[in-house]
């Protein structure tokens, strides 16, 4: 059973980007299967999932950043997009460090990845695709960025704002969990030395 269903609205039309998004959807659905069966992620299975996520992030972010530079997109879009890529990697690292403290690692990862993927595809990557099309049609990168920066008052924009908020809430929870786990590890180490 698919817990994250691919929809045509997710298609960017850029083959390599769409293929990589499908990879992440497959990982999300693997985690969904674990949740549905009520199983726990073993340490070995968790290592495999984080390795898959690491490989996805490294390849996908490298390819998107090269694509944006090659297309000559506005540096403001590229910088914001790269910043979100960096945040995603930081979140993965925080979740890896806190994995022992997670009561439901599959659910935590599933929720975080689902929110991020929907926000990333429907927001940033669709915007990237539209900006590339505008630049290829002869618009300046600055004009393409400005066109995409105009707020729209529609249900899709509201959904993206909600997903962005959910993503940031989950990100903060992950950072807090990782920090609490680090403090606990230090306290344990200090007590062991005493």
pLDDT for 82 equals 95
DSSP state of 194: -
Structural domain boundaries in the chain: 13-193
pLDDT for 159 equals 55
- Over residues 104-127, the mean pLDDT reads 86
Res. 117 pLDDT band, cuts 50 70 90: confident
Res. 16 pLDDT band, cuts 50 70 90: very high
Contacts with 39 (C-beta within 8 Å, 6 or more apart), sequence order = 106
Tokens 């595809």 belong to residue:
121
Distance CA 82, CA 63 (A): 11
- Over residues 115-122, the mean pLDDT reads 83
Q: Is the confidence at residue 163, as pLDDT, over 60?
A: no
Q: Is the confidence at residue 60, as pLDDT, over 90?
A: yes
3-state secondary structure of 121: helix
pLDDT for 102 equals 81
- Over residues 12-41, the mean pLDDT reads 89
CB distance 113 to 31 below 8 Å: yes
């Amino acid at each position: 059973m698919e817990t994250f269903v691919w929809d045509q609205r997710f298609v960017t039309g850029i083959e390599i980007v769409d293929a990589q998004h499908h990879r992440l959807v497959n990982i999300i659905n693997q985690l969904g299967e674990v949740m549905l069966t009520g199983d726990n992620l073993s340490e070995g299975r968790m290592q495999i999932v984080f390795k898959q996520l690491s490989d996805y992030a490294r390849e996908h972010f490298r390819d998107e950043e090269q694509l944006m530079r090659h297309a000559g997109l506005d540096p403001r879009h590229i910088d914001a997009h790269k910043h979100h890529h960096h945040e995603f990697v930081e979140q993965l690292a925080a979740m890896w460090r806190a994995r022992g403290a997670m009561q439901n690692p599959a659910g935590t990862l599933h929720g975080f990845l689902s929110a991020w993927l929907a926000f990333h595809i429907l927001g940033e990557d669709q915007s990237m695709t539209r900006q590339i099309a505008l630049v290829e049609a002869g618009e300046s990168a600055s004009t393409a960025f400005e066109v995409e920066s105009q707020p729209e008052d529609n249900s899709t924009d509201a959904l993206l704002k909600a997903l962005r908020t959910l993503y940031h809430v989950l990100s903060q929870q992950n950072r807090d969990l990782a920090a609490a786990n680090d403090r606990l590890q230090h306290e344990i180490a200090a007590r062991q030395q005493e």
